[in-house]
């Protein structure tokens, strides 16, 4: 409740009063295993976190959309009208909530009144824990609650992806929005991105914690390389389709891939496709390991995932590799891997609870010595999807 009261107080400072204002939350997410599989028709295994994005919102009597972020206070209140909702480069972060208003209207859910919205996120910017998807799902949830739209959380995820693809021009898969909209406390989501079938898998980390390690590297390279990896996988798939009746790399077993990989005819593209196929199978095996209560095997699969992202997919870089290498040297570490797009951002590890403090101290010191600046560490819990507080 302390957070709610502080946010309402800030809202009153910014917008004059907080009469009729309501407070909402949507989580960030981390993907435990299944990286760069979501656009290859494979499985992913993300979970929602208890850190995320808050919004204080209320309806206006006019058609103005007034958006303010405590994370970017220097920007002040950004104002646009509902009739002029075009994406503008100068609007920066505001294009995420604006895109959701646009996407609702595209689906026939017209927003007929303006809004005052204050945002506050405690997801580190640029960390790869999905602050953009969090603000999208949160804004969708705000619109659903304040206007009474009949829209499921799964539809909120699809609206978020649609908005990011078509309004923001980012060619993302469905995983981030889905994990945030459909989050469930103490469970990860085993999602088949080919058909959006999913199941919740309880994460029973008795005596262990999820620790996120942030490289603090400013990402710039990632977007162009991300699109390059996608096109390499698409080219590999097209070559395999000359012989195999498949729609995605995620349909192949390791054995089928090995028997047919020569069709691809390019060493780099073979490596990219190998990662997509093997990572999908690792994700399936990891969920089974959890069901069998074999957290040690789950950890080994996490580590194998990082090796593949480093060697076959080549999206890690010295910062992520250093964090993971140092993490794996520490006592009490069950597994570690990069998470997210790569080229910076975060790694995720599972560490025995009584070793967490020493783990953070040792990995932090080794990273700073090698890279020259500090990493940040977050011990996180798995939380629910969006809610009104």
Determine, yes or no, domain membership for 137. Answer: yes
Does residue 36 sit within a domain?
A: yes
Is the Cβ–Cβ distance between 31 and 103 less than 8 Å? no
With tokens 């990082």, the residue in question is 306
What pLDDT shows up at residue 223? 60
Taking phi first (over 0 means left), then psi (-120 to 50 degrees means alpha), and beta for anything else, what does residue 126 get? left
Question: What's the CA gap between 370 and 320, in Å, rounded?
Answer: 12
Q: Please tell me the distance from the alpha carbon of residue 363 to that of residue 175, in angstroms, as a whole number.
A: 29
Q: Is residue 288 part of a domain?
A: no
Question: pLDDT tens digits, the chain, 389 residues: what are they?
Answer: 799 999 999 999 999 999 999 999 999 999 999 999 988 999 999 999 999 999 999 999 999 999 999 999 999 999 999 988 888 888 889 999 999 999 999 999 989 999 999 999 998 766 677 788 999 999 999 999 999 999 999 999 999 999 998 998 887 788 999 999 999 999 999 999 999 999 999 887 889 999 999 999 876 544 668 888 989 999 999 999 999 999 999 999 999 999 999 999 999 999 999 999 999 999 999 999 998 989 999 999 999 999 999 999 999 999 999 999 999 999 999 999 999 888 888 999 999 999 999 999 999 999 999 999 999 999 999 999 999 99
Please say whether the beta carbons of 345 and 215 come within 8 A. yes
In a domain, 196, yes or no: yes
Domain for residue 19, yes or no?
Answer: yes
Tell me how far apart the alpha carbons of residues 323 and 364 are, in angstroms, rounded to a whole number. Answer: 8
Pick the catalytic residue from 38, 116, 176, 192: 176
**How many other CB atoms are there within 10 angstroms of residue 247's CB atom?**
10
Q: Which two tokens stand for residue 31?
A: 């993907």
Q: How many residues does the chain have?
A: 389
Residue 61 belongs to a domain: yes
Q: Are the beta carbons of 357 and 379 closer than 8 angstroms? A: no
Number of domains, the chain: 1
Give phi and psi for 23, each to the nearest 5. -115, 135
What span, in angstroms and rounded, lies between the C-alpha atoms of 89 and 32?
Answer: 33
The half-sphere exposure of 343 on its side-chain side, counting CA atoms within 13 A, is 16
Kindly give, in sequence order, each residue whose CB lies less than 8 Å from that of residue 315, ignoring residues fewer than 6 positions away.
36, 225, 229, 309, 338, 341, 342, 343
**Distance from chain centroid for Cα 17:** 34
Whole domain around residue 113: which residue ranges? 2-204
Domain with 82 in it: what CATH number?
3.30.230.10
| Within-domain flag for 388 | no
Q: What is the spatial distance between Cα 160 and Cα 374, in angstroms, rounded to a whole number?
A: 33
- CA pair distance 334, 330, nearest whole angstrom: 10
Q: What CA–CA distance (Å, rounded) separates 95 from 124?
A: 19
Active site includes 17? no
Question: How many other C-beta atoms can be found within 10 angstroms of the C-beta atom of residue 265?
Answer: 11
Q: Which residues contact 188 (CB under 8 A, 6 or more apart)?
A: 32, 45, 46, 47, 200, 201, 203, 382
- Contact (CB, 8 A) for 53 and 134: yes
* CA angle 74–76–79, rounded 5-degree value: 145
Domain-located, residue 329: no
Structure tokens given for 197: 């079938």
Signed CA dihedral, 293, 153, 41, 132: sign only:
negative
């Amino acid at each position: 409740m302390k957070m709610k009261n502080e946010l309402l107080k800030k809202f009153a400072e910014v917008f004059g009063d907080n009469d009729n204002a309501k407070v909402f939350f949507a989580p960030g997410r981390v993907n435990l295993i299944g990286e760069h599989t979501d656009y290859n028709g494979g499985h992913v295994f993300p979970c929602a976190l208890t850190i995320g994005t808050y919004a204080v919102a209320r309806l206006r009597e006019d058609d103005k959309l007034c958006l303010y972020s405590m994370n970017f206070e220097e920007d002040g209140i950004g104002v646009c009208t509902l009739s002029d909702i075009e994406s503008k480069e100068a609007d920066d972060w505001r294009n995420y909530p604006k895109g959701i208003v646009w996407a609702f209207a595209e689906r026939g859910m017209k927003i007929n009144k303006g809004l005052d919205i204050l945002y506050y996120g405690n997801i580190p910017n640029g960390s790869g824990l999905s602050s953009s998807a969090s603000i999208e799902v949160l804004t969708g949830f705000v619109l659903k609650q304040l206007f009474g739209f009949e829209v499921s959380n799964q539809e909120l995820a699809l609206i978020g992806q649609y908005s990011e693809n078509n309004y923001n021009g980012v060619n993302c898969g469905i995983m981030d929005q889905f994990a945030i909209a459909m989050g469930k406390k103490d469970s990860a989501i085993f999602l088949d991105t080919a058909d959006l079938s999913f199941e919740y898998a309880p994460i029973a980390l008795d005596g262990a914690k999820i620790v996120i390690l942030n490289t603090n590297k400013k990402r710039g390279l990632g977007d162009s390389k991300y699109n390059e990896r996608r096109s390499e996988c698409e080219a590999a798939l097209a070559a395999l389709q000359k012989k195999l009746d498949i729609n995605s790399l995620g349909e192949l077993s390791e054995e089928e891939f090995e028997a047919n990989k020569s069709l691809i005819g390019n060493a780099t593209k073979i490596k990219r496709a190998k990662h997509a196929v093997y990572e999908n199978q690792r994700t399936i095996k990891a969920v089974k390991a959890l069901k069998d209560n074999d957290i040690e095997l789950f950890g080994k699969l996490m580590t194998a995932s990082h090796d593949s992202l480093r060697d076959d997919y080549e999206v890690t870089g010295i910062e992520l590799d250093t964090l993971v290498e140092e993490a794996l040297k520490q006592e009490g570490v069950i597994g570690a891997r990069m998470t997210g797009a790569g080229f910076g951002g975060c790694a995720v590890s599972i560490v025995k609870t009584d070793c967490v403090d020493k783990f953070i101290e040792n990995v932090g010191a080794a990273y700073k010595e090698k890279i020259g600046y500090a990493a940040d560490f977050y011990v996180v819990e798995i939380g629910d999807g969006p809610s009104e507080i």
